[in-house]
A and B are shown apart, each in its own frame.
Chain A
Amino acid sequence: EIVLTQSPGTLSLSPGERVTLSCRASHSVGNSYLAWYQQKPGQAPRLLISATSMRATGIPARFSGGGSGTDFTLTISSLEPEDFAVYSCQYYGGSPLTFGQGTKVEI
């Protein structure tokens, strides 16, 4: 099983700031099997990034993903008020699929 560890647990930031979230895998996952989701209170998760760095349809360019092997990142270049949410990484290369515990980005 691939265990995903996200850090930090919570980030307190201001609009306009740049932020990089970390997702570390217990074993190499390859470049094609890592996704990122955004979730706001009371809402379902929303796909942001697939295959490590592919932005989903409609996702602004300020969101970018990177990394390889066991270390992956999600960067938001300049935080907008609507970006304050929980971000989760996901391994989807096989069973069991796994999620990181999430990083909360708060004001």
Chain B
Amino acid sequence: QVHLVESGGGVVQPGKSLKLSCEGSGFTFSNYGIHWVRQAPGKGLEWVAMISYDGSNKFYADSVKGRFTISRDNSKNTVNLQMNSLTAEDTAKYYCARVYFEWLMVGWFDTWGQGTLVTVSS
């Protein structure tokens, strides 16, 4: 069964850093593009970043560009999101999601993790 599991969330002070991880199982992880999507409390979904199946291409939302870095380690079936210079506006549940088609970077998301909560507060 295809699964994505996020980890690494927690409470962090403004200006600090946090690293999220997304581990995949039940499929050939190295064949799929992975995205991060976040949802602030009571708000809609916001796309954050994406990485190609081999890690060679990465794109970011303007709201996180220059502060967040997405990376992957296919030997560990993991995609990471390094988040620096966090602000209260980054408070959200962060989901990772898999693109439906193998090898493609963009597409609809057929599999989502359950999310990990990031709270930025002093």
Chain A residues at the B interface, C-beta cutoff of 8 Å:
35, 37, 39, 43-47, 50-51, 56, 88, 90, 92-102
11 further contact pairs, Cβ within 8 A, besides A95-B50, A101-B43: A35-B108, A39-B45, A45-B95, A90-B45, A92-B109, A93-B106, A95-B106, A97-B50, A99-B37, A99-B44, A101-B44
Report yes or no: B112 in contact with A45, Cβ–Cβ below 8 A.
yes
Chain A contact residues: helix, strand, loop or mixed: loop
Q: How far is it, in angstroms, between the C-alpha of A95 and the C-alpha of B108 when the chains are bound?
A: 13
Q: How far is the CB of B112 from chain A (nearest CB, A)?
A: 4
Closest to B104 in A: A92
Q: How far is it, in angstroms, between the C-alpha of A46 and the C-alpha of B95 when the chains are bound?
A: 12
Closest to A51 in B: B108
Instruction: Give the size range of B's interface with the partner.
Output: 20 to 34
Q: How far is it, in angstroms, between the C-alpha of A32 and the C-alpha of B28 when the chains are bound?
A: 25
B54 within 8 A of A: no
| Chain B residues within 8 Å of A39, by CB | 45
In this complex, the member of B45, B47, B108, B114 whose beta carbon has the largest number of chain A beta carbons within 10 angstroms is B108
Contact of A92 among B43, B46, B108 (CB under 8 A): B108
